[in-house]
Amino acid sequence: QAELVESGGGSVQAGGSLRLSCEASGFSYASKCIGWFRQPPGMKREGVAIIHTGDDTKLYNDSVKGRFTISQDKAERTVYLQMDSLRPEDTAMYYCGADNTPWGDGSYCSLNHYSMDHWGKGTLVSISS
* pLDDT score recorded for residue 66: 98
User: Per residue in 15-72, pLDDT tens?
Assistant: 999 999 999 999 999 999 999 999 999 999 999 999 999 999 999 999 999 999 999 9
Q: Name the pLDDT band for 88 (thresholds 50, 70, 90).
A: very high
Side-chain half-sphere exposure of 19, counting CA atoms within 13 A: 9
* pLDDT score recorded for residue 52: 98
Average pLDDT on 72-95 reads 98
* pLDDT score recorded for residue 104: 87
**pLDDT of 111 strictly over 90:** yes
Side-chain half-sphere exposure of 122, counting CA atoms within 13 A: 12
Q: Name the pLDDT band for 75 (thresholds 50, 70, 90).
A: very high
